[in-house]
Structure 1
Amino acid sequence: MPFVQSEGVRIYAESTGTGTPIVFVHEFAGDYRNWENQVRFFARKHQCITFNARGYPPSDVPEDVEQYSQALAVEDIASVLRHFGVERAHIIGLSMGGYATLNFGLAHPEMALSLVVTGAGHGSDPDKRMQFLHDSSELADRLIKLGMQEGIVHYANSPIRRRYKEKDPRGFEEFNRQFAEHSAIGSSLTTRGCQLRRPTIYGLEAGLRVMDIPTLVVTGDDDEPCLEPALFMKRCIPDARLWVVPRTTHPVNLEEPEMFNRVVSDFISDVEYKHRSK
């Protein structure tokens, strides 16, 4: 298996295709398999790199909460790039991966050709912050107590995934089946070390206002917790575009794969054209 060494942890990673590199960063409930539709599309012209975050087998599952953080998630992306000899890449992330993508742009702007930040911001709105922290803490406890199969039932069927279930019941079932295969310890510690401790989107304002990276912010119009953060990112990031996807909830790339691929492909093509023109 192809493993990357990152901060003392082995990260499972795959590379497919050739061309300008794209790195895909998965969400909390997902893993590298959730990007299959994107890899099949983009690998025709690009090197596509997918990986599993720490805590997500076959990547290592550290049992110390201090081995999980937003900063470490960012450094894991950098380690994956270095492992494959990539100096700069387009970075695409969803949800937890969207947070990591955004923070990667702040920490390593020299390594990012562009950013696609999708479904990021859950837990950022001040009026929902305490509820998010409470729910996340309960989820972390539930996963350890009940295991993945039972512990994820409420989370997997939350309102921010209802359109996915409506549009693609077969895909929704596969998604939850794969989610249930994750490590309860890894998922619980990811929640405690990363989601409960990371800065909100609003807390990144100073860095976002000076971040000189072309950025596509994506959110479903039915992904309520991420709408205001998406608008905030659009208003702060100097070279940001905002795409609000109609009748769509959280996992945009899974709910609307063809549309997602087309819009992101156009964005990347535009970024590369402008880069060549300089």
Structure 2
Amino acid sequence: MPADAPDSAPREHTVPVADGVELWARESGDPTGTPVLLVMGAASSGVLWPDALVERLGRRHRVVVWDHRDTGRSTRAVDVAPYELRDLATDAVRVLDHLGVQRAHVVGMSMGGLLTQLLLLDHPDRVLSATLFCTGALAGAPGGEGLPGPHPDLLALWSRLGETRDEDAEMEFRVEHWQALAGAVVPFPREEVLALERGAVAHGGPADASSATAHARAGTSGLARGAELAGVRVPTLVVEAPEDPAYPPPTARHLADSVPGARLVTVPGMGHALPAAVLEPFGDAVEGHLDAVDAAKP
């Protein structure tokens, strides 16, 4: 590396967010680039973001991932210090504050997409752009009546999240869960998923029943704010995953319609997951959105 080149080596942080509650965070990529905050879904560590996506975005951006409370290396909190899901959105702001980031592109998946919407409503000055995928609009957004819910097979799997399993059985369950989430169009990359989950276990230790259901047991007050999305002015991209069994079509279209000026892009074959087979078109959509916003900002 030339002497004057920026140091792109990953940098880990411990971020205090409440009394006795700390979060693990990691930044990587170009430290001089526009920050990108990746917000993962429920019960999921930040290391579940695919390395290929993090590295791609890191070519021109400072990429930040972190472990929500009750995941990875962050504090197991819900049973000793109960919290609301909306507190996880405030955690995102605390992570930005700790890293000295004033504004960031925010990319949210699943529950992370709901948290990103809360950031758009409560902290728009901290969000350069938003990318929402595998998620739906906050409750109360007009036109949301009658949208389909999660597939029954997926609901059946979710009912088993709190079961106690040995290490091998737990890994098999996680693979089964990801297979259901990924849909049936894109070939399921079993070994890729196994490697990803083994990496998550190496990072944060074996999952227990409490951690697996922590976010399902967190408070849900203050989330019925979908009508407020009509006031959002932050550039927003919604990526539709047509094979998503958790947020099936036309959920993404409804979300895009709920945010003024939001652009909808469909990634064919994509389910509620980011296997290698969809990373190129998904990455193209996200990078194009980030580049357009970066080019337009003062």
Q: Report if TM-score (shorter chain) is over 0.5.
A: yes
**Aligned residue number for residue 269 of structure 1:** 291
2:40 maps to a residue whose letter is H
Question: Cα distance 1:248–1:108, how it changes in 2: closer, same or farther (>3 A)?
Answer: same
What amino acid is the match of 1:38? L
**In structure 1, the residue corresponding to 2:25 is in which secondary structure?**
strand
Q: Which runs of 5+ in 1 are unaligned?
A: none
What is the aligned partner in structure 1 of residue 62 from structure 2?
Answer: 47
* Pair 1:30 & 2:52 matched: no
Aligned to 2:236: 215
CA distance in 2, matches of 1:199, 1:255: 37
In the alignment, the residues of structure 1 paired with residue 66 and residue 18 of structure 2 have an alpha-carbon distance, to the nearest angstrom, of 15
Go from structure 1 to structure 2 and tell me whether the alpha carbon gap of 1:168 and 1:127 turns closer, same or farther (over 3 Å shift).
closer
**Contact 2:147 2:251 (C-alpha < 8 Å) held by counterparts:** no
Distance 1:166 1:240, change over 3 A: same
CA–CA distance in structure 2, aligned partners of residues 139 and 198 of structure 1: 25
CA drift at 1:132: 10
Aligned with 1:73: secondary structure?
Answer: helix
Deviates more, 1:205-214 or 1:175-184: 175-184
Give the CA deviation at 1:174. 2.0
Q: Bigger radius of gyration, 1 or 2?
A: 2
- What residue in structure 2 maps to residue 170 of structure 1? 191
| Aligned with 2:13 (options 2, 24, 36) | 2
Shift in Å, 1:184: 3.1
| Secondary structure in structure 2 of the residue aligned to 1:141 | coil
> Structure 1's 14 and 126: CA in aligned 2 closer, same or farther, altered over 3 A?
same
Alpha-carbon RMSD: 3.2
Question: Residue type matched to 2:123 in 1?
Answer: H
Q: Normalising by the residue count of structure 2, what TM-score does the alignment of the two structures yield? A: 0.78
C-alpha deviation, 1:83, in angstroms: 0.3
AA paired with 1:37? A
Alpha-carbon distance in 1 for matches of 2:114, 2:37: 14
The answer for unaligned runs of 5 or more in structure 2 is: 1-11, 140-145
Give the direction of change, closer, same or farther, for the CA distance of 1:182–1:107 in structure 2 (3 Å limit): farther
TM-score, normalised relative to structure 1: 0.83
Cα deviation, residue 254, structure 1: 5.0
**1: CA distance between counterparts of 2:184 and 2:253?**
21
In structure 2, the residue matched to 1:204 is: 225
Corresponding residue to 1:187 among 202, 212, 222: 212
**Secondary structure of 1:247's aligned partner:** coil
State the distance in 1 between where 2:237 and 2:245 align: 18
Measure, in 2, the Cα distance between the counterparts of 1:235 and 1:140: 33
What is residue 109 of structure 2 aligned with on the other side?
94
Secondary structure in 1 matching 2:101: coil
More displaced, 26-35 or 128-137? Answer: 128-137
Cα distance change, pair 193–116 in 1 and its aligned pair in 2 (3 A): same
Match of 1:204, as an amino acid? R
Looking at structure 2, the residues matched to 229 and 198 of structure 1 have their Cα atoms a distance apart, in angstroms, of 22
Bigger Cα displacement from structure 2, 166-175 vs 177-186: 177-186
Q: Which has the higher helix share?
A: 1
Q: CA deviation at 1:57?
A: 2.5
Alpha carbons 2:15, 2:95 under 8 Å: kept: yes
The 1:45/1:157 distance shift into structure 2, 3 A limit, reads: closer
Over 3 Å counting, the alpha-carbon distance change for 1:255 and 1:61 in structure 2 is farther
Q: What residue in structure 1 maps to residue 9 of structure 2? A: none
- d(CA) in 2 for partners of 1:127, 1:218: 18
Q: SS of the residue aligned with 1:22?
A: strand
